[in-house]
């Protein structure tokens, strides 16, 4: 959850919250980690907690034994966090553009570091369904076919409401917001269907991020039934056929 929230903060450029979240996630990891045993332990029983109580100096002075591996990652990030949380009032503060780039990279590093010590497993992927029709209305066949794509469980993301008189820049803004919501998920694939120009913009953004996108193909099934009064009642329904990849993207 912390990694997912960190990705959201990074996308929203909420760098103050992002730096605090990453630091506190490292702290939480410390309290669950024995320095000599990567198996998570309760906070009071953790090796780190014992060392910290025995040495009341700052975390950066806990000794050489805690300057590598996971503790080292924490110490390496502390300076970056201080650049943000102290508003640049440091003797050797970083430049804003460098800080932004390092914070964006720190999210991936945090996930990797948590995995190193067994505190965070690989994130299960999801298949985002971005349309005006929730996946709860899918047939079992469509659900099964979505899972068979291998992208993960289906998660609904509402398609943006596009006013008929919306200007192109408004459509682009709404589409960018929807694409950002999808990218904040551990998305491995996406179904995108809705207003044409917004669909194009969302798919373009997702494909640029390496997310394969799909359209649901359907077949029309028509039937006729004679009524008691001699009239013929014609009905039709659309049946899911297959997931078709949008051209130009990774599969």
* pLDDT attached to residue 63: 46
Beta bridge partners of 242: 217
pLDDT digits (tens, 9 = 90+) for 143-202: 999 999 999 999 999 999 999 999 999 999 999 999 999 998 889 999 999 999 999 999
Whether residue 186 is found in the same domain as residue 79? no
Q: Of 98, 116, 134, which residue is a domain's last?
A: 116
Whether residue 57 is found in the same domain as residue 12? yes
* pLDDT attached to residue 65: 44
* pLDDT attached to residue 35: 47
Q: Are 2 and 111 in contact (CB under 8 A)?
A: no
* pLDDT attached to residue 71: 61
* pLDDT attached to residue 1: 64
Q: Of 53, 85, 116, which residue is a domain's last?
A: 116
Mean pLDDT over each residue of the chain, to the nearest integer: 78
* pLDDT attached to residue 54: 54
* pLDDT attached to residue 62: 44
The domain that contains 144 carries what CATH number? 3.40.50
Asked if residue 250 is part of any domain, the answer here is: no
* pLDDT attached to residue 195: 96
Whether residue 110 is found in the same domain as residue 142? no
* pLDDT attached to residue 155: 94
Range(s) of the domain holding residue 149: 126-245
Task: Please count the structural domains in the chain.
Answer: 2
Q: Are 90 and 83 in contact (CB under 8 A)?
A: yes
Q: Of 63, 93, 116, which residue is a domain's last?
A: 116
Asked if residue 222 is part of any domain, the answer here is: yes
Calculated CA dihedral for residues 175, 180, 185, 189, nearest 10 degrees: 50
* pLDDT attached to residue 189: 95
DSSP structural state of residue 164:
T
Token pair 């809705």: residue: 194
Spans of the chain below 70 pLDDT = 1, 28-77, 86-94, 113-123, 249-251
Whether residue 106 is found in the same domain as residue 61? yes
12 — phi, psi (to 5°)?
Answer: -85, 0
74 — phi, psi (to 5°)?
Answer: -60, -50
Q: How far apart are CA 130 and CA 179, in angstroms?
A: 9
Asked if residue 59 is part of any domain, the answer here is: yes
- Paired tokens of 210: 């390496």
* pLDDT attached to residue 59: 46
What is the separation of C-alpha 62 from the centre of its chain, rounded to a whole number of angstroms?
A: 34
List, in sequence order, the alpha helices (H) in 117-237.
Answer: 140-148, 168-183, 196-208
Whether residue 101 is found in the same domain as residue 149? no
Q: How far apart are CA 159 and CA 12, in angstroms?
A: 19
């Amino acid at each position: 959850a912390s990694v997912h929230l960190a990705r959201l903060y990074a996308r929203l450029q909420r760098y103050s919250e992002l730096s605090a979240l990453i630091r506190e996630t490292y702290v939480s990891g410390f309290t669950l980690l024995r320095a000599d045993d990567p198996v998570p332990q309760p906070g009071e029983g953790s090796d780190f907690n014992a060392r910290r109580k025995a040495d009341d100096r700052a975390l950066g002075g806990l000794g050489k034994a805690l300057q590598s591996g996971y503790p080292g990652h924490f110490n390496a990030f502390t300076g970056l966090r201080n650049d943000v949380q102290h508003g640049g009032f440091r003797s050797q503060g970083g430049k804003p553009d460098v800080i932004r780039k390092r914070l964006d990279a720190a999210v991936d590093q945090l996930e990797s570091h948590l995995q190193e010590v067994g505190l965070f497993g690989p994130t299960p992927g999801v298949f985002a369904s971005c349309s005006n029709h929730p996946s709860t209305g899918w047939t079992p066949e469509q659900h099964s076919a979505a899972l068979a794509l291998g992208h993960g469980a289906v998660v609904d993301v509402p398609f943006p409401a596009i006013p008929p008189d919306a200007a192109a820049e408004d459509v682009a803004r709404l589409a960018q917001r929807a694409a950002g919501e999808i990218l904040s998920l551990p998305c491995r694939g996406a179904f995108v269907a809705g207003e044409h120009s917004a669909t194009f913009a969302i798919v373009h953004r997702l494909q640029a991020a390496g997310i394969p996108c799909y359209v649901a193909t359907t077949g029309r099934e028509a039937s006729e039934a004679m009524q008691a009064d001699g009239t013929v009642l014609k009905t039709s329904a659309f049946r899911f056929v297959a997931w078709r990849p949008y051209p130009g993207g990774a599969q």
